[in-house]
Amino acid sequence: MSVQWGRKAVIAALASTTLLLAGCETETTFRPATGHGFNRDGYSERQIEPSRFIVSFSGNSSTPRDTVERYLFFRSAQLTLQQGYDYFVMAGRDTKLRQQTYSTGGGFGPYGGFGGYGGFGYGGLGGYWGPSWRYHGGGFGGYGGGFGWSPWYGGGFGAFNDFDINTVDRFEATAEIVMRKGPIPDGNIHAFDARKVVETVGPSVVLPGQPRR
């Protein structure tokens, strides 16, 4: 039993450290994407036809939407020039807000668990990503308490079973671009001169190792 409690304490500590680091991180710089899933940030592209690409840029929780969309625009222009074209047409574009909710605390035993000392909870097993909530307030009799809900374990009553809910937000911008050579046709408001975009947006782009402007 002592081994199980030690493992839960370690998981909870790691979860708290992750949230603390997320709160201290700086904006994502302009670089190729790293990481996986929700923690992936940076730019990436996928070629779907000889002159057509899907380009995306994902930021961390400290990167505002404006920066994510600006870096997507810059990468689209940069990629166009790298492929030997002069301008690109935005065939489609979308920016999504990705969210994950993290619950910490809870568990079984004297610090939130089963019976008079707490209730089951999604985050009560040491902290896991997922939807859940917890009410902090008075309990019944001498047990104090709070109650909560989880899609896995449901709620519970008792003391010491409170836990915190934290939501992490990240923006991801994606565009489908078609590259072309020569001058931009008159009236095409969705076409952008790649060289002019690089010249205009480039000074505001922060590369890895560069000081923040």
Q: How far apart are CA 51 and CA 80, in angstroms?
A: 9
Q: How far apart are CA 107 and CA 180, in angstroms?
A: 58
11-15, 104-108, 154-158, 188-192: which has the minimum mean pLDDT?
11-15
Classify residue 106 as left (phi > 0), alpha (psi -120 to 50) or beta: left
The mean per-residue pLDDT over the stretch 125-147 comes to 41
Other beta carbons within 10 angstroms of residue 25's beta carbon come to 13
Model confidence at 104, in pLDDT bands (50, 70, 90)?
A: low
Query: Taking 70 as the threshold, does the pLDDT of residue 77 lie above it?
Result: yes
